[in-house]
Structures are given as structure tokens and as C-alpha cells.
Chain A
């Protein structure tokens, strides 16, 4: 079942790009630095001006308010920002099993932001964005700062989520081995074009 339908998307010097993503599917996306991978994700989340049509089921991105769209199509950027003093203040409520699935215990909610490592920020950032129960997850190099064990936890957590929620994922990364492992469908951005590289 098709979930995300991107038609003739253009932004900056990139595009037109067209791609369909089905429910329960993970699309791996790679490309050289500066090729526009992050901008691509930002355009999908409507954080960047763009042309073209982006549909979620039958819902056009431009037909609902931007913040409601971003709750459904959630972007986890490579660098997460935290504005309160402690981790817990950034969460409404969080189930203990989600925390432990990513290797945290309940005490982490008391941690102060300044002591978080970049890997902890990435994992907690995923949990934070999951609070909106997004239908589409856009992950921008989400495991770049994680060790092997935490990368595994992260991958299986994401897989579990999309299976349970019929969601889909666009996963941007540099680690080709990882992209092959998690997704049968791999794309690359080259000179502003989206190329299928199975």
C-alpha cells in the first residue's frame, strides 16, 4: 500500500525528483556531502521552500497546516536541539519499554541536557519525535554517532515501529552496508537527481 507519493519535487538546484514509498517500507538514501540529502528531507517536512506535489495517502502537503503536516511527516535531523534543562521536560509521557528498547532507563529523564553525548541525543531525539506517532519518519544520518550495539537497537526499534504502525521511513546515511541491511530499496542523489541503485 502506497503511503508517501512525491511528484516532481524541486528545491534549490535539485530535482525534479519523483518517488513512492509504501507502508512498512524503509528507503535508504545516500549521496555525497552537499548533494542535497538533508534538503530533500527538509522539503518533505515542509521546512524548506520547494515545488512539486507531496501526498501522504491522498492528503496534499499544502492542504493542511504546516505544523500538522510535520506531526505526520517527522524529521529527525542529524543534530538535535534541546531547550529545557533536563531530558524529561522534553517529553509529555514516555513508556518505560521504549526507553529500555534504546538502552535507557527511567533515570535518564532526570539527566541534564549538557551531559548528553551526541549518540544519546540521537537516540533520545528519536524517542522525542515518536511522541507524535508520525506516519513517515525522515531520518538524517541517525546512527552516525552510535556504537555497534546502539546502532542495532536503533535499527530494530525503527523497524518495530513501522511494522506496528504501518509507517514508512526514508533513511539517509553514508554506511552502505547498513542501508543494504535495513532496506531493499536504495537510492542515491547525484547531480540533483534521484537514482535507484538496487
Chain B
């Protein structure tokens, strides 16, 4: 039996977030506004989705589920972009992040639904939507971190990149060290989760299933499946984003092309 939470319980937890925001504001760490907006968003968004989830799961229309998936991917792409200190101009930033989410998360979810889970029909929303959601959530984090690290470091290390170009290295070689760093930054969260799973952290989905009465071994199998999917999705997503962005940072004569970047806008929520 689930212990019900009262509004007061949530309010207590909320107070902690408010205190944290006040502390960061006092220390001038410049994150309190983002923190409050994100906390408000999580409350509203989860409440809303909680209301419609039942009817969503009852739906059997493929077109409708594809529409939901499309919205989820676009929002994730947008969120990645809002986390960037320096964005690519025009539609490039959104295009690259959303495109990479699509080729990683969407295709891996599809693969998994059709070959591994094989629900009937394969797009059954109670499998498809949470699966895609978990993949997108993690891939989004990886991509946002990797992308930010790549562009920031390229910006800061402009003299080194140009020096390497002047020494006759290709554009690809000249940014290779920075790209390696960015790949690491993007993959660390998921590598941490896999390494700590079961010892430090009990993954939420598995724990939930067990609490809800599922056989532990079955729940664990699902969790491992999810972990592997998240890892390959994140890896693919980060690789494609880093590849596309490092292409975009150079022009056809292998020169750094920072005029394709917008000015530093800070990491403000939009």
C-alpha cells in the first residue's frame, strides 16, 4: 500500500528548494532564478501529465502517439538549447540537437519496442511513452553537457585551435582534444548511474515496479534493459551532436568560424 502524501508534505520539500534558492542568491551564485522556474515547471508539468496519463495510455492511435513523441523530442531539443551558454545562430542549434535526439533516442526506442519488448501493438503507449521519456531525459542531459563543453572550450581555446591549424593540422585534428573532453562530459552522468546502480542508488523505475508488486528479477531485467538503452542512446546522441557542431565551427577552408555563434546570453531559462 502506498503511503499518501499530503499537500503539507510537498510544501515541506518545497520549502527546502526555496531555502536553497535563498542561499544561492545570498552567495551570488546566480542560479536561484533558474532553480525556482525549474521547480515550478516540474510541479505544473507533472500535475498536468498525471491528469492525462490514464487517457493517454488508453489511446491506441499510432498517429496520436507519434504526435506525442514528436512533441517530446522537440521540447527536449529546445531544453538542450536553453542550457547552452553560446548557441549556434539560426535553426542550426535546434536542428542539430533535435536531429541528434531523433537518431539516438527515437530510433533506439523504436528498435527496442519492435524487437525486444514486442508488445501488441508494438506502439502500446504504456511501454512506448515512458521508454522514450526515460531515454530522452537522459540523452538530453548528456547532449546538453557535451555540447556546452565543446562550444565553450572551443571559444576559450581559440588560440590553441588556430595554432594547430597554422601547423597544418586538419580542422578535425585541431579540435580533437576538445571533442574528447566534451564526449567525457556528456557520458559521465550515465556512466556514474551504471557504476553506482544497486550499490549506491536503486534506480527509480525498478524500485517502483517492485513496490507495486512486480517480481524483483523481472523488474531488474527491465532496469538493465533501460540502462543499456539509455547508455547507447546518450552515446549516439552525444557523438552525433559533437560531430555536427565541430563541423559547423569551421568553414570550408578549415578556419574557425565563430560568427556562426550567438553572443553569450548566459544560461537563462527562456
Contact = CB atoms under 8 A, between A and B. Distances in A.
A48 B254 contact: no
B255 A81 contact: no
Interface in B56-102: none
Contacts of A131: 167
B194 to A, nearest CB: 32
A168 interface: no
Most buried by B among A47, A68, A80, A128: A47
Interface stretch (A69-77, A152-160, A186-194): A69-77
Nearest to A47: B255
Interface stretch (B1-9, B133-141, B156-164, B208-216): B156-164
B167 to A, nearest CB: 6
B44 interface: no
Contacts of A46: 253, 255
Given A48-B255, A83-B177, A128 B159 contact: no
Nearest to A132: B168
Nearest to A131: B167
A139 interface: no
A66 B163 contact: no
A120 to B, nearest CB: 16
Contacts of B254: 65-67
B165 interface: yes
B165 A70 contact: yes
A66 B253 contact: yes
Interface in B129-176: 157, 159-160, 162-171
B159 A79 contact: yes
B148 to A, nearest CB: 21
A172 interface: no
Most buried by A among B162, B177, B253: B253
Interface string A106-145: 0000000000000000000000110110000000000000
A67 B171 CA distance: 8
B166 A75 contact: yes
Interface of A: 45-49, 65-68, 70-71, 74-77, 79-83, 128-129, 131-132
8 contacts: A46-B253, A46-B255, A66-B255, A67-B165, A74-B167, A81-B162, A81-B163, A83-B164
Ranked nearest first, the 3 interchain pairs of A and B with the lowest CB-CB distance are A71-B168, A81-B163, A66-B254
